[in-house]
Structure formats: structure tokens, C-alpha cells
Structure 1
Amino acid sequence: MARTTERARPRWGLEILLVLGVSLGQSAVYSLLRIIERLTRPEPLSAQTTQMNTSATPDRPWLDLAYQLANIAFPLVPVLLALYLLMLAAGPRAWPADDPGVRPWQRIGFDRTRLGSDLVRGFAVAAAIGIPGLGFYLLAREIGINTTVAPANLASNWWTVPVYVLAAAMNGILEEVLMLGYLFLRARQLQWSWTAVLLVSAVVRGSYHLYQGFGGFAGNLIMGIAFGLLFLRWKRVGPLVVAHTVLDVVAFVGYAVVAPRVDWL
């Protein structure tokens, strides 16, 4: 068993690169290119706008809905791939309570065994991070290191709010399962230190938000460290998926409701 594990370790390093390469690592590279493009424009970063959740065909709602659902479904494929790879090669324990004999989503705490506590913890984390996060974003924009982020730009339809909620859930599942559950487990099996795993995860998380500006990078770097520490404490991604989803629902739906009525967002 020990010899099998030793032979598998190089493949796990390649596996991490491949999983990130078809998901958030790829997003980080494109985000880096995007910030370079923004910095080389004639207008300053603070005068630029980053639009998210935009309509593809606003004049044809049924087709627009199909586009939005596809945009939600396909980013979840790397999550399924990561869980499948963990199932194919479970590997040794990554922490004392870890049981390689259970299913991969159970190993990282992405299941319903503690649904109540996951929800309570998730909402608490979202509340603790949400208001300071908004303040940090406004400060970053004010000092000129971030764009104006418009997170909700879908045409008004009966399905607009449900799509925002689904998009928020997709972001929470994609980022937390990959950047916490999968990456922490595999990296620990490669005998990375907890500090190294925590910092790499947080830097990658910040990097794929660079398209928003340096405020987006810094804010998500800090969030990545906080989420990583909580994952190390709880050994469950469930609460952090909930927290991330709640933060994005408030951002998407809240912006759509509030932005037309105020001038500071």
C-alpha cells in the first residue's frame, strides 16, 4: 500500500494541474490577461466597469434562459471530475479524522449529514464577511485600484431571480469544493504543509478575481485565507458552500434591486 501511494503521488500533482487547468486555474490566467488589458487602457481602472451575469440574447428570453443554464451547468463538470478522480484514487488520510473508505464528497464534508449546522455556520460566516467585504470593495474603488463591479445585468424575466440564485450556488460549489475540499485533500496527500496549501489556495482564489481589479484580488485573497482556516477547523466544505452562495445571492439579487435606486454602487 505504501509503495502504491508513493507511485501515485507524482500523478496526483499532475492531476491537480489538470483539474485546475480546466477550471479555476484557467480562469486565473484569463483574469491576469484581463487586468493587463484594463491597465493598458487610456482610462483609469476606477473609471471602468466589470459586468457579470449578462444576457446573451435579451430579445429572445427562452434562448437567453438556455444560455444562462448552460453557463451554470458546464462549470460544475470539473467539480464532478475532481470527485470522480478522488473516488478512483482515494489515497491515504489527509487529516486524522479523514476516512479514505468513504465516498469523496463525504471526505470533504460536501454531504447532508450535518445539514443543519452547515446552514447555521454558513449564514454566520456570510454575515461576518458580507458587510466588511462591501466596505473593502467601496474603499478599493475609491482609491482607484478596482473597477466598478455590476454583478447583475440580466434582462428582466420571470426566471431572472432564480437564475441569479442558481448562478450563486454554482459559484459556491465550484470554488469551495475545488479550492478547499479537493485541493486541500490532494495537496496534503502530496505532503504539502497546511501553510503551503492554505496560501496556494488563497492566491489562486484571488487571482481568478483579478479581472475586477486589485481590490477584487486582495479581498478574495483574504476571504480565501479565512475560508481555508475555517475548513481546517471544521473539515467540511458544506458551511463554506452555503456562505459563498449566500454572499453571491445577496450581491446578485441585492444589486439588481438596489442599484437602480442609489448612485454609490
Structure 2
Amino acid sequence: MTARDPSRPATAATPDAPAPATPGVPPPAGVEVAGPTPGGAPPVSERARRRRLTAEIWIVLGLSLGQSAVYAVVNIAARLTAGTPLASQSATLNASRSARPYLDLTYQLLSIGFALVPVALALFLLSANGRSAARRIGLDGSRPGRDLGVGFGLAALIGLPGLALYAVGRAVGITVEVQAAALNAAWWTVPVLVLSALQNALLEEVIVVGYLMERLRELRWRTPAILVTSAVLRGSYHLYQGIGPFVGNVVMGLVFAEYYRRRRRTMPLVVAHTVLDVVAFVGYALIPAAWREALGIR
């Protein structure tokens, strides 16, 4: 970098510094005008920017799926040391919160709504530079037909092997029995299960794929490290279901993360995840209890 000639006025434009603006006089063509730094603060260094982004990631994950991952790790440790085989243990999803139907509905809707707050936070942070976060990560309706098609295709690609992996995991004793829905029967049961599926899809795909991968890319992580980090995080918060679901969700995470890396769209992933969860939640709720007992599903 060329040093400024000390004999020249401090206000003169140099090759290394933009010219100051003169009130009422437009700058010459091609000349960059220096703007005031907010608050007169010095420009942020690259190191400080990286530290801030890293702290932001930890905060977002700590408020959402990172917290779930920590609890899941503790949970699987407790299960493995409980003295009862994993195959004899169970995990319940979408459980009722009250015997009073409308109070239960209120609790369910509040839980779904507050679970989406970290999604709003992640989108807000991604839009800090004025760019639409939804468009940035492809969470929009610009390609509805294609997104639906890809979403259903991904659901089939992941869902069928996932069922097989669950069955194998149960057979070899590394997966707990997962009760996908335990809500009391009511007129709102199926709509709430669908909303729960959509909430899971938005939470996981926006944060674990869209937000996390964008931020790690800004931190200049290598592509393989970004893909593996996203996938392992996805698997980790499913550990409470056993080792089999952890492995299955890591594989799902790699597929979804690679799709996002290539296409920069989370909407097909949200569609796929919603379809998978709706089939699991609603299908489980609609199977008669006698059939579930005959199939060995409680």
C-alpha cells in the first residue's frame, strides 16, 4: 500500500482513501465518496466479524436445536446406563398436555408457536444486510410446482429406507420404540399433528440447513466440514430415539445439506420433512389401537 504524502492536505483524495463529500456538490464520475462510520467507530476487522458470527451461531443454536442436541445426548446416556435394553424403552412424540381437550389444544398451539421463534430469529439475522432472508435461503413460493415435486421425491427417497432402518434398529436393539402421536382423540387432533409436522420442518430446515450453512460459509469453512456439521447436528438431537435414528438422520442430513449446497433452496426440504412427519404422526394416530398392538406398536 502506498503511503500518503504528508505534504498533501488531509482532505485530498488519495488512491487509498475515498474523497470526502462536499455539501451540494455531486462527486465526479467514478470517484468513491467516503461516508461517516456509524458512531464514529473504526471499521470492524475480519477477526472481530468472525468472532461475532461464531457467537451468533452459538446463541441461535443454544436457543433451539443445539439445546435439543445437548438434552438428547444426556438422554441417550441415561438410557444406555439405565439397566434396561434400548429395545424395551420408548419415546413419545406429540403427547397430550392436559386431560381437558381445549386446554390441551391451547398448550399444543402455544408450543408450536413458541418453537418457531428461533426460526424468526434466524431469518431476522440473515436479513441484517437488507436482503430478504427467505429469498436468500430459498424459502419462498417462486417455484411451487418444482418445490412440491422435489419435496415429495426427497420424502420418498428418505422415508422408505428410514422405515427399514427403524425396523432393523428395533430388531437389533439399538432403537427405542417411538410412539409418534399420543394426543387424546379430538376434532383438532389431526390438524394439530399437521401443524406440528410443519413446525418441525421449518425449525430444522431453516436453522440446521439454511441458517447454519450460510453462516459457516461466511466463516469460510470448507464444504465437507459444513455438510458434516449440519448432518451430525441433525442426528444428535434425535439421539433420544436411539442409535438407529441418529444414523438415519445423519444420512438424511447429508442428503438435504448437499441438495441445499447445489440449489440454495430450503422450500423443497421443508416440503419433504413435512410430508415425512405428517405420514408418521397422522398415520400413527389413525391406526386403530388393536392394529398397533397386533403389529407390536404401542
Same fold (TM over 0.5): yes
Tell me which moved more, 66-75 or 252-261: 252-261
Residue by residue over 1:59-116, the C-alpha shift from the partner in whole angstroms, topping out at 9 and shown as x without a partner, is x10000001001111111011111111122x4xxxxxxxxxx6311110000111122
Q: Give, in whole Å, the separation in 1 of the partners of 2:126 and 2:272.
A: 24
Q: Secondary structure at the match of 1:203?
A: helix
- Partner residue, 1:98: none
**Where does the alignment leave 5 or more consecutive residues of structure 1 unmatched?**
91-100
Structure 2: unaligned runs, 5 residues or longer: 1-36, 38-42
1:82 alignment partner, one of 87, 108, 122: 122
Q: Tell me the distance in 2 between the aligned counterparts of 1:52 and 1:172.
A: 15
The answer as to 2:190 corresponding to 1:161 is: yes
Q: TM-score, normalised by structure 1?
A: 0.92
Residue matched to 1:171: 200
Counting helix residues as a fraction of each chain, which structure ranks higher? 1
Q: Deviations over 1:7-45 (max 9, x none)?
A: 422100110011001100000000011111111212200
Correspondence 1:56 to 2:85 = no
Asked whether 1:218 is paired with 2:259, we answer: no
Are residues 259 and 226 of structure 1, via their aligned partners in 2, closer, same or farther at CA, if it must alter by over 3 Å?
farther
- Note the 1:50-199 alignment, pairs <5 A: 50-58=91-99, 60-88=100-128, 90=129, 102-199=131-228
Q: Does 1:26 align with 2:67?
A: yes
The SS at the match of 2:91 is strand
SS in 2 for 1:50: strand
Q: Distance in 2 between matches of 1:221 and 1:132?
A: 13
Q: Paired residues, what number? A: 252
The one-letter code matched in structure 1 to 2:125 is: L
Cα distance in 2 between the residues matched to 1:49 and 1:222: 23
Q: CA deviation at 1:145?
A: 0.4
The answer on 1:42 being equivalent to 2:71 is no
Query: Which of these residues, 250, 259, 262, is aligned with residue 279 of structure 2?
Result: 250
For the residues of structure 1 that align with 2:161 and 2:125, how far apart are their CA atoms? 37
TM-score where L is the length of structure 2: 0.82
- CA gap of 1:16–1:32, structure 2 versus 1, over 3 A, is same
Quote the Cα distance in structure 2 between the aligned partners of 1:86 and 1:234.
Answer: 18
CA-atom RMSD in angstroms? 1.4
Structure 1 CA distance for aligned equivalents of residues 216 and 45 of structure 2 = 13
1:17 maps to which of 45, 58, 71: 58
Q: Answer with 1 or 2: which has the greater Rg.
A: 2
Cα distance in structure 1, aligned partners of 2:57 and 2:66: 10
